[in-house]
Amino acid sequence: MSNLAYNGEFDAEPVLSPGKIGGPGAWRGSKLQKSDAWIEHLNETEIAEIDAAIRAHVEQDLSMADIRPETFVLPTLGPRLKKILNDVVEGRGFVL
């Protein structure tokens, strides 16, 4: 488990607790070089969803500050991004 507390809000400030880093967040570059499990590839459907969400956002004349799940709809990619977020917060701490 990471030293980062996450309360389920995207705009939450990270809270670091003191202590030794352990678990999946304690990695070394040499170990990461042996696997590409930390690389996420988007498929054509997910890319098309992002494109459609951008177009809808622009058509509604919304700013980047207005990006929210309800204004930037990603029906397929959204649930996957939640899993990726969990890996970032509770897992290795990053994803590409």
Q: Does 3 have pLDDT greater than 60?
A: no
Q: Which domain holds residue 60?
A: 27-90
* Within a domain: 8: no
Q: Are 28 and 5 in contact (CB under 8 A)?
A: no
Half-sphere exposure of 20 (CA within 13 A, CB side): 2
Q: Where are the alpha helices (DSSP H) in the chain?
A: 29-32, 44-59, 77-90
* Within a domain: 39: yes
* Within a domain: 96: no
* Within a domain: 5: no
pTM confidence score: 0.67
**Tens digit of pLDDT for each residue in 64-96?**
999 999 999 999 999 999 999 998 988 888 999
* Within a domain: 9: no
- Name the domain count of the chain: 1
Quickly count: other Cβ atoms within 10 Å of residue 49's Cβ. 19
Of the candidates 53, 30, 31, 56, the residue with the CA atom closest to the CA atom of residue 42: 53
* Within a domain: 54: yes
* Within a domain: 22: no
**Tens digit of pLDDT for each residue in 8-49?**
666 666 667 667 777 888 888 888 889 898 899 999 999 999
* Within a domain: 62: yes
* Token representation of residue 91: 């897992």
